[in-house]
A = this chain, B = another copy of it.
Amino acid sequence: MNLYDLRDSIDNNDVGKEMYGLIEELYPICRSITGNGARQSLDILKKHIPLTIQEIPTGTQVFDWTVPKEWNIKDACIKNSKGDKVIDFQDSNLHVVNYSVPIRKEMTLAELKDHLHTIPEYPDWIPYRTSYYKETWGFCLSHNQFLKLEDDDYEVLIDSSLKDGHLAYGEYYLSGRNGDEILISCHICHPSLSNDNLSGIAVSTFLAKYLSSLSLKFSYRFLFIPGTIGSITWLSLNESNVSKIKHGLVLACVGDSGRYTYKKSRLGNAEIDRIVMNILKHSGEENKAIDFSPYGYDERQYCSPGFNLPVGCFMRTPYGEYPEYHTSADNLDFVQPGYLAASFSILLSILSVIESNDRYLSLNSKCEPQLGRRGLYDHLGGKAGSKARQLAMLWVLNLSDGNHTLLDISDRSGLDFSLIKNAADSLTDSGLITVMDKR
Contacts and interface: CB of A to CB of B under 8 A. Distances in A.
Contact of A397 (B235, B294, B319, B369): B294
A51 B25 CA distance: 80
Given A380-B129, A394-B294, A362 B305 contact: yes
Contacts of A325: 384
Contact of A381 (B129, B365, B367, B381): B129
Nearest to A301: B367
Interface in A84-132: 97-98, 127-132
Contacts of A365: 304-306
Nearest to A231: B367
A398 interface: yes
Interface in A50-93: 62-65
A98 B382 contact: yes
B367 A64 contact: yes
Interface string A384-407: 111000010011011111000000
Given A294-B394, A366-B235, A383 B305 contact: no
Contact of A367 (B128, B133, B134, B236): B236
Among A266, A294, A391, A401, find the residue whose CB has the most chain B CB atoms closer than 10 A.
A294
B381 A130 contact: yes
Interface residues of A, number: 67
A311 interface: no
B382 A127 contact: yes
B65 A134 contact: no
A116 to B, nearest CB: 12
A306 B403 CA distance: 13
Contacts of A12: none
Given A64-B369, A391-B295, A132 B381 contact: yes
A326 interface: yes
B382 A129 contact: yes
Contacts of A293: 391, 394-395, 413
A303 interface: yes
A429 interface: no
A333 interface: no
Contacts of A133: 370, 372-373, 379
A384 B307 contact: no
A368 interface: yes
Contacts of A300: 368, 394, 398
Nearest to A127: B382
A235 B127 CA distance: 67
Among A97, A305, A319, A395, find the residue whose CB has the most chain B CB atoms closer than 10 A.
A305
Interface string A301-327: 101111110000000000110000110
Interface string A347-364: 000000000000000101
A251 interface: no
Contacts of A266: 398
Contacts of A367: 62-65, 231-232, 235-236, 301, 304, 306-307
A239 interface: yes
Given A382-B326, A385-B320, A401 B305 contact: yes
A306 B134 CA distance: 62
Interface in A399-420: 399-401, 412-413
A391 B296 CA distance: 11
Contacts of A308: 401
21 contacts: A64-B369, A64-B370, A129-B380, A131-B381, A133-B370, A133-B373, A133-B379, A134-B380, A232-B367, A232-B368, A235-B366, A291-B412, A293-B395, A295-B394, A300-B394, A303-B398, A304-B365, A307-B366, A307-B367, A320-B385, A326-B382
3 closest A-B pairs by beta carbon, nearest first, are: A306-B365, A306-B366, A305-B401
Interface of A: 62-65, 97-98, 127-134, 136, 138, 228, 231-232, 235-236, 239, 266, 291, 293-295, 300-301, 303-308, 319-320, 325-326, 362, 364-370, 372-373, 379-386, 391, 394-395, 397-401, 412-413
